[in-house]
A and B are shown apart, each in its own frame.
Chain A
């Protein structure tokens, strides 16, 4: 399969009082052409920072890519100069954000902003660009495109604004669309509309999508593959069906079980993960999940496991081979991992 994006050993830091705090610490993955990949994680997992690094937007937020390599269709993005990067941003790679209101300029009409985006990437006249904007707005399912283009962002609802953002992102016909929590601020019925829109566009435009979400449910609906992140590191990468069928990493399992199922037993205590997410200033020694992991052994507390490949899956856990043979459920019943692997 054609790889469209490759991320290798990415380390991203934010300047703090005592030097750089590593928000993303050694992350490697790739995205295939036409694939939808979901990065799932909780707050502080580094999922958004990873996407902002691909767009090289971290630099505007006091962040810095400290190490590693990001390449888009074989071309390195990490070494690009600011003005070269600007040409790639919003053309071959587009991005949409969680809060569409802050991402739109309040003093310009929707039409002005979309046609501006079109003019930036295509050598056409203003009128033509406006016509293109109309087409895009229709494509993302906004009724009365002619009237809508004359409106200002505040006149639109949250769902409409997100559609406008998607229209702008599509202006340059990107090959990769990065969507950072695109439906988190929206109500479920509107979320369903936006996810459906993204699915249709994916088919129609044959683009790759990198979707960042905290919602396992959204990932289950959208993703071909899922990346699970925790405290700046990747814990597991696998096909969507595999991850739900047999989560290998204890964190993945904990995450899946924490969410009440729509057909689950009501009223019984939910499985939960003990403790809380570590702050980036006090990252635990060894495996970052080890203080909360019910299966952690001595080794886990001392040394961080690397992301290792087993078949078509990748897992960062010292006990991966043991867990492959014994399902996590059995391990739980046995009361822990019985051999020191």
Chain B
């Protein structure tokens, strides 16, 4: 039983989306009742990367790192502050409303919350059928036939066309959300924490469904999640975000076997493994993610980084390719095969020597 990765993935090296210097800044009121000075929160700060046609790009990071904001800004569900997002050759950010609506047939989103994202007053037939009506693709019996086809595709009984969202379980509701997103046969889908709200026994069903659909429909997917094991399972490449910055990006096996950014390495070591024999030595990071309203100077991870030096305080490291197709934003990336623990020990020895 040798499933090679090529067999599973249809990823190419041809970018379907090019995200260039994307920024999303929010202006918030300063702290305290009498402090009216406004602060800028840089939720996404100068992020650039490509999404290749046919790939699943996983995006991980802790809450507040900007991963969901990034996803929403790419689709212009929120207006980015700056930057360019090219879908094929069109800059999504320059489209007017009419053009954008046309584009929405091809780019879609699946939300996390299967309870909040479906209108409780509409039947699922209406919820999914709406997609065809808004875009003037089908109506009446033709629409109904299309919706039923979609329901079947996502593993729901087409006879439940007239049911309301509350009549479905969480997993089934997420299937409705997937059917809605895929109704117009999009080319690119942002899946924003699509399985986080589901119970484990149901979670794997939905993951399997997403993998199957991706393959059958030839989708390109940006898969945003905080569950590292899920992201590892489903993604061809993985990007890691920290405090509004993309800090590492590479092929999944590279990221998980040879993480180069100290944050990625620490993050991976903290995942509780479902195997007591693997109770491993963790690199428990000190402290917490700083507030994005007041990020540290230089490298944003330096306040928690066990390898940080004076250089990290002064200069923010740019994202650069250190090995083949392996991008890291760190002044002192880990060597291939070097663990974070070894790097820390090495650093301590050097300190003593000096």
User: Quick one: which of A240, A256, A276 has the most chain B CB within 10 A?
Assistant: A276
Nearest chain B CB to A230 CB, angstrom units: 9
Nearest chain A CB to B170 CB, angstrom units: 8
**Given A189-B267, A220-B279, A272-B205, are A267 and B234 also a contact pair (CB < 8 Å)?**
yes
The complex places the Cα of A196 from the Cα of B281 at a distance, in Å, of 11
Nearest chain B CB to A123 CB, angstrom units: 37
| Chain B residue contacts of A217, Cβ below 8 A | 271-274
Contact of A195 among B171, B172, B229, B272 (CB under 8 A): B272
Indicate if the CB atoms of A260 and B229 lie closer than 8 Å.
Answer: yes
Query: Is B12 part of the contact surface with A, judged by Cβ < 8 Å?
Result: no
Specify the chain B residue showing the minimal Cβ separation from A40.
B200
The complex places the Cα of A181 from the Cα of B154 at a distance, in Å, of 32
Specify the chain B residue showing the minimal Cβ separation from A230.
B201
Indicate if the CB atoms of A241 and B205 lie closer than 8 Å.
Answer: no
Indicate if the CB atoms of A188 and B230 lie closer than 8 Å.
Answer: no
Query: Is A258 part of the contact surface with B, judged by Cβ < 8 Å?
Result: yes
Indicate if the CB atoms of A267 and B9 lie closer than 8 Å.
Answer: yes
Nearest chain A CB to B133 CB, angstrom units: 30
Within 8 A of B (CB), among A264-281: 264-274, 276-277
| Chain B residue contacts of A271, Cβ below 8 A | 204
**Given A188-B267, A220-B272, A276-B172, are A270 and B208 also a contact pair (CB < 8 Å)?**
yes
Contact of A259 among B8, B200, B253, B277 (CB under 8 A): B200
Indicate if the CB atoms of B273 and A188 lie closer than 8 Å.
Answer: no
Indicate if the CB atoms of B208 and A241 lie closer than 8 Å.
Answer: no
| Chain B residue contacts of A259, Cβ below 8 A | 200, 204, 229, 274
Indicate if the CB atoms of A188 and B271 lie closer than 8 Å.
Answer: yes
Tally of contacts, chain A with chain B, CB under 8 A: 141
Indicate if the CB atoms of A244 and B275 lie closer than 8 Å.
Answer: yes
Indicate if the CB atoms of B273 and A42 lie closer than 8 Å.
Answer: no
B interface residues, tally (CB under 8 Å): 49
Indicate if the CB atoms of B204 and A272 lie closer than 8 Å.
Answer: yes
Contact of B169 among A192, A264, A269, A276 (CB under 8 A): A276
Query: Is A34 part of the contact surface with B, judged by Cβ < 8 Å?
Result: no
Indicate if the CB atoms of B201 and A42 lie closer than 8 Å.
Answer: yes
| Chain A residue contacts of B201, Cβ below 8 A | 42, 254-255, 258, 272-273, 277, 292
Interface string of B178-214 (1 = CB under 8 A from A): 0000000000000000000001111111011001100
Contact of A266 among B5, B203, B273 (CB under 8 A): B5
The complex places the Cα of A260 from the Cα of B204 at a distance, in Å, of 8
Nearest chain B CB to A244 CB, angstrom units: 6
Nearest chain B CB to A283 CB, angstrom units: 15
The B contact surface, by secondary structure, is helix
| Chain B residue contacts of A157, Cβ below 8 A | 288
Query: Is A43 part of the contact surface with B, judged by Cβ < 8 Å?
Result: yes
Indicate if the CB atoms of B199 and A277 lie closer than 8 Å.
Answer: yes
Query: Is A193 part of the contact surface with B, judged by Cβ < 8 Å?
Result: yes
The complex places the Cα of A190 from the Cα of B64 at a distance, in Å, of 13
Indicate if the CB atoms of A241 and B276 lie closer than 8 Å.
Answer: yes
**Given A188-B62, A262-B228, A262-B229, are A270 and B274 also a contact pair (CB < 8 Å)?**
no
**Given A188-B267, A189-B266, A266-B233, are A256 and B276 also a contact pair (CB < 8 Å)?**
no
Query: Is B28 part of the contact surface with A, judged by Cβ < 8 Å?
Result: no
Indicate if the CB atoms of A192 and B256 lie closer than 8 Å.
Answer: no
Nearest chain A CB to B285 CB, angstrom units: 5
Indicate if the CB atoms of A244 and B277 lie closer than 8 Å.
Answer: yes
The complex places the Cα of A271 from the Cα of B204 at a distance, in Å, of 7
| Chain B residue contacts of A273, Cβ below 8 A | 201-202, 204-205
Query: Is B101 part of the contact surface with A, judged by Cβ < 8 Å?
Result: no
Query: Is A218 part of the contact surface with B, judged by Cβ < 8 Å?
Result: yes
Query: Is A59 part of the contact surface with B, judged by Cβ < 8 Å?
Result: no
Indicate if the CB atoms of A260 and B202 lie closer than 8 Å.
Answer: no
The complex places the Cα of A255 from the Cα of B267 at a distance, in Å, of 24
Indicate if the CB atoms of A192 and B204 lie closer than 8 Å.
Answer: no
The complex places the Cα of A220 from the Cα of B274 at a distance, in Å, of 6
**Given A258-B203, A260-B207, A277-B169, are A267 and B272 also a contact pair (CB < 8 Å)?**
no
Query: Is A299 part of the contact surface with B, judged by Cβ < 8 Å?
Result: no
Contact of B62 among A42, A187, A257, A260 (CB under 8 A): A187
| Chain A residue contacts of B233, Cβ below 8 A | 260, 264, 266-267, 270
Query: Is B323 part of the contact surface with A, judged by Cβ < 8 Å?
Result: no
Query: Is B3 part of the contact surface with A, judged by Cβ < 8 Å?
Result: yes
| Chain B residue contacts of A261, Cβ below 8 A | 229, 273-275
Indicate if the CB atoms of B284 and A193 lie closer than 8 Å.
Answer: yes
User: Quick one: which of B169, B207, B273 has the most chain A CB within 10 A?
Assistant: B273
Contact of B226 among A160, A188, A192, A254 (CB under 8 A): A188
Known pairs A42-B200, A240-B276, A273-B201. 18 more at Cβ < 8 A? A188-B228, A188-B267, A189-B270, A189-B284, A215-B272, A217-B272, A218-B272, A221-B272, A244-B274, A259-B200, A261-B273, A262-B268, A266-B233, A267-B9, A268-B3, A272-B205, A273-B205, A277-B169
Q: List 8 A-B contacts (CB under 8 A).
A: A189-B270, A191-B270, A192-B282, A244-B275, A260-B204, A266-B253, A274-B205, A276-B170
Nearest 6 pairs of A and B residues by beta carbon: A217-B272, A267-B8, A192-B270, A187-B62, A272-B204, A260-B233
